[in-house]
């Protein structure tokens, strides 16, 4: 994992400056990290940091963490010789010795635009922690809210993540986060398009972990529209229906919504042209 030294100024949209110092104290954003050692302090992608005296999650010192064996695995997971953590706190059930990540542990919220202090429009990618991990006993899932979840029916020895923040499978089940996709056949299941949440197996179509009962699997297709910021709007159709997410949508409204999102993206593309990369 990349590691950074303390910045001397905080810039809200620049991840490398989330931890910073005024020369006397260490801060995460606007919060002081009491007792932190400026000279040995270093931080990592996401909200992890350590110095010679301790390990930190945002502005909080991790109780019992060992700086000598502390390792940041990805945006979502970190561990030392005895413990495993996510942004949601310590993963009580995890076995640190056999714990390993299954993907890169991050989800992109797409391009964001901010004005700098100089009045320039800056574009950057907003990343949040999401992802799967496993140890000898369990598969785990974290989705940037609440506690880390155990994927109860997953076989840790056979589990594979699609590295898309949501989907994974083993020999018996397909998973969307910690939930089983009902009756999905891992042998024939597939996502229909990158960055979209539609999938199918032999004769069933799903949106996230929900079966779209009315969908015709043979003619079902994602309606992709240009999108440069966040997850793309979720549109699809088959020979019988049009869909917005997993809901049937009248054709007239469907076309209005699609055109509205196309126009929205065109405005974002104009921002792209006048903005500068971080």
pLDDT tens-place string over residues 12-65 = 999 999 999 999 999 999 999 999 999 999 999 989 999 999 999 999 999 999
pLDDT tens-place string over residues 146-189 = 999 999 999 999 999 999 999 999 999 999 999 999 999 999 99
Listed residue (93, 92, 65, 59) closest to 80, CA to CA: 65
Q: Where are the beta strands (DSSP E) in 24-161?
A: 26-28, 31-32, 42-44, 48-50, 55-57, 60-61, 71-72, 78-79, 84-86, 89-90, 100-101, 106-115, 121-129, 131-134, 139-142, 149-150, 160-161
Cα separation, 192 vs 198, in Å, equals 6
* DSSP one-letter code for 79: E
The pTM of this model reads 0.94
Q: Residue 34 pairs with which residues in a beta bridge?
A: none
Cα separation, 79 vs 231, in Å, equals 30
């Amino acid at each position: 994992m990349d590691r950074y030294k303390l910045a001397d100024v905080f810039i809200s949209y620049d991840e490398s400056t989330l931890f910073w110092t005024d020369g006397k104290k260490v801060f995460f954003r606007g919060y002081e990290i009491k007792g932190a050692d400026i000279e040995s302090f270093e931080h990592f992608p996401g909200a992890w940091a350590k110095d010679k005296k301790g390990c930190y999650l945002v502005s909080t010192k991790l109780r019992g963490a060992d700086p000598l064996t502390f390792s940041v695995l990805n945006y979502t997971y970190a561990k030392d010789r005895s413990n495993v953590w996510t942004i949601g706190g310590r993963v009580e059930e995890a076995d640190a010795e056999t714990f390993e990540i299954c993907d890169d542990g991050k989800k992109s919220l797409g391009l964001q635009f901010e004005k700098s202090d100089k009045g320039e429009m800056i574009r950057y990618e907003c990343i949040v922690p999401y992802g799967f991990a496993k140890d000898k006993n369990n598969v785990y899932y974290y989705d940037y809210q609440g506690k880390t979840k155990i994927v109860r029916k997953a076989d840790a020895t056979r589990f594979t993540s699609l590295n898309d923040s949501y989907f994974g499978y083993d020999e018996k089940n397909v998973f969307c986060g910690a939930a089983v996709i009902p009756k999905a056949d891992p042998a024939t299941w597939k996502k229909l398009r990158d960055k979209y949440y539609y999938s199918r197996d032999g004769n069933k179509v799903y949106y996230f972990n929900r079966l779209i009962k009315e969908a015709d699997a043979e003619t079902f297709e994602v309606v992709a529209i240009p999108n440069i910021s966040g997850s793309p709007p979720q549109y699809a159709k088959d020979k019988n229906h049009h869909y917005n997410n997993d809901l049937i949508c009248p054709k007239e409204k469907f076309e209005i919504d699609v055109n509205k999102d196309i126009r929205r993206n065109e405005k974002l593309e104009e921002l792209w042209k006048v903005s500068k990369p971080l």
